[in-house]
Amino acid sequence: MENEVKRYRVSPKTYLCVTPEEAISTGITVGEEMLEEITLVRTQGFGYSMYASVREMPVDKLAGIPVSERGEKLFDSRREAARYIAENNSDSSLFLYGVKDTRMVDRREIAQKEDTPVADFMDQLKDFEKK
């Protein structure tokens, strides 16, 4: 289907990432957290288990925006997602999507970057303390 989009997240976090590698590299994760591949479909309707705000722009441009600033998030209800989009859609590129399918991704399948510099790791720890 042409309106389907794939995003990834480390559950239980709510923000969405373009690739599984990006999801894992967005902060400190523990082994118990699950990596999910989420198939989304653009909708205004009801009946989905979860909803998301998705930014419609080319993936290469989207990858240039920090994950925390993209505004792509997952919500338990349509109402929450619609409210978030209405409040945070200054450039009119966020749209409502319904979660069509979710599947767990085995972390062993992902090419993870092992050469994370110590300075980056320390910055991640500082960000973790703020939350």
Q: What does the pLDDT look like over 67-84, one tens digit per residue?
A: 888 999 999 999 999 999
Decide: helix, strand or coil at residue 20.
helix
pTM for the structure as a whole: 0.76
Low-confidence ranges of the chain (pLDDT < 50): 1, 112-118, 131
Cα–Cα distance for residue pair 59/55, rounded to 1 Å: 10
> Residues of the chain with pLDDT > 90: what percent?
39
What are 57's two structure tokens?
């722009």
Contact 98, 74 (CB under 8 A): no
Number of domains in the chain: 1
**Strand arrangement of the beta sheet that strand 4-11 belongs to:** 4-11, 34-42, 94-105, 51-55, 73-75
Range of the domain at 36: 4-130
Q: Which residues of 16-26 are buried (b: 16+ CB within 10 A; e: fewer)?
A: bbbebeebbbb
